[in-house]
């Protein structure tokens, strides 16, 4: 339930931000802060595309999967950030740091979710066996 | 849900479902029972057999060939894995990785390995690798059964 509420919260926040900045763009033109918001939306779209394709290719080894995903996304963020002038030549490595800041908590969160799912599955299997034994 | 069984000599196996309203749970139950009567043709040592879906432990695609694994036998089938997936979903045989379908009724337990892979142990002791993406599918089937 909390997960669903959080998901809806972020989605709703995204819609509010895009609507507010779109109206600002129409009224005051493309200011740097408005451009940044749109750049983040474009980045987010392409990162999601990358994540989708990485998951299609490799999916059994989660650690390998997440490392490949991390490097793919980092390289994309680096190139994209360089293109839209987020990073200077000297601090190109910041892309890897920013992506790691997002990916490390996601990794641990995913581990916790998977552990919870496994515990649930094993509990249901145990209950089913007990039920079968009784009948 | 109440389960009553009675022996009726000389009659074919008949399942009657009494329900107060036709809801998703009832529909799933009826679909599952119907699916149990389905068979898939598979060949072993040059002979063609009709393999009962309820006997299948898992199905695997190896080098573009699809194999059905029962308790003691392995059959090769002409069906593609995605075709089997569509046919067998209602019987609780679902995708667990790109190349494998598993019968959830044959699942004994699941555990996470050190390298973050997920390993399913079947009731006959066989072990299969489960991709995280498909873990939710197993959970949903067991959740449905527990409703």
pLDDT tens digits, one per residue of A72-124: 888 888 888 888 888 777 777 888 888 888 888 888 888 888 899 999 999 99
Full set of structural domains in chain B with CATH: 24-142 (2.40.50.1020)
Give me the number of domains chain A comprises: 1
pTM over 0.95: no
Residue A125's pLDDT is what?
93
Residue A59's pLDDT is what?
58
Q: Is the pLDDT of residue A26 over 60?
A: yes
Compare CB distances from B110 to A55, A61, A121 and report the shortest one's residue. A121
Domain with A115, as residue range(s), is 2-134
Residue B30's pLDDT is what?
85
Chain B nearest C-alpha distance from A62 (Å): 6
User: Is A54 or B86 the better-scoring residue by pLDDT?
Assistant: B86
Residue B98's pLDDT is what?
86
Could you tell me if B129 and B119 are in contact, meaning their C-beta atoms sit under 8 angstroms apart?
yes
Residue A30's pLDDT is what?
86
CA distances for B21 relative to A34, A71, B17, B28, B135, angstroms: 54, 53, 11, 13, 31
Task: List chain B residues with CB under 8 Å of A63.
Answer: 115-116
Provide the CB-side half-sphere exposure for A93 (13 A, CA): 1
Residue A32's pLDDT is what?
86
Instruction: State the pairing for strand pair B74-77/B118-122.
Output: unpaired
The C-alpha atoms of residue A121 and residue A118 are separated, in whole angstroms, by 5
- Identify from B96, B131, B144 which residue to disrupt to test chain A contact, counting A C-beta atoms within 10 A and taking the largest count: B131
The predicted model gives A5-23 an average pLDDT of 91
Residue B35's pLDDT is what?
75
Q: Which residues of chain B have pLDDT under 70?
A: 115-116, 144-147
Chain B nearest C-alpha distance from A98 (Å): 24
Compare CB distances from B131 to A59, A63, A120 and report the shortest one's residue. A59
Q: Residue A60: which of B112, B33, B143 has the closest Cα? A: B112
Q: Which two tokens stand for residue A43?
A: 């980045």
Q: Is the pLDDT of residue A135 over 70?
A: no
Residue B89's pLDDT is what?
83
Residue A60's pLDDT is what?
57
Residue B115's pLDDT is what?
65
Q: pLDDT-derived band of residue A58, with 50, 70 and 90 as boundaries?
A: low
Q: Is B102 exposed, middle or buried (0-12, 13-18, 19+ CB in 10 A)?
A: buried
**Nearest residue in chain A measured CA to CA from B111:** A118
Q: Which two tokens stand for residue B48?
A: 């063609």
Residue B65's pLDDT is what?
92
């Amino acid at each position: 339930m909390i997960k669903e509420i959080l998901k809806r919260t972020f989605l709703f926040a995204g819609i509010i931000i895009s609507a507010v900045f779109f109206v600002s763009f129409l009224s005051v033109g493309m200011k740097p802060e408005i451009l940044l918001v749109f750049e983040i939306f474009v980045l987010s779209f392409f990162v999601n595309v990358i994540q989708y394709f990485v998951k299609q290719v490799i999916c059994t080894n989660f650690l390998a999967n997440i490392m490949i995903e991390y490097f793919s996304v980092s390289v994309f963020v680096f190139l994209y950030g360089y293109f839209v002038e987020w990073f200077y030549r000297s601090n190109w490595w910041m892309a890897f740091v920013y992506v790691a800041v997002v990916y490390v908590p996601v990794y641990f969160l995913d581990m916790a979710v998977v552990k919870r799912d496994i515990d649930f599955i094993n509990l249901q299997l145990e209950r089913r066996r007990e039920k079968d034994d009784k009948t | 849900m109440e389960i009553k069984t009675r022996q009726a000599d000389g009659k074919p196996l008949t399942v009657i479902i009494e329900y107060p309203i036709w809801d998703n749970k009832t529909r799933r139950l009826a679909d599952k029972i119907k699916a149990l009567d389905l068979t898939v043709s598979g060949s072993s040592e040059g002979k063609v057999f009709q393999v009962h879906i309820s006997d299948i432990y898992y199905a695997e695609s190896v080098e573009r060939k699809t194999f059905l694994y029962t308790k003691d036998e392995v059959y090769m089938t002409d069906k593609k894995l995605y075709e089997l997936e569509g046919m067998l979903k209602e019987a609780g045989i679902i995708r667990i990785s790109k190349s494998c379908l598993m019968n959830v009724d044959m699942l004994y337990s699941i555990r996470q390995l050190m390298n973050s892979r997920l390993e399913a142990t079947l009731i006959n002791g066989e072990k299969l690798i489960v991709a995280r993406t498909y873990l939710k599918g197993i959970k949903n089937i067991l959740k449905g059964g527990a409703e």
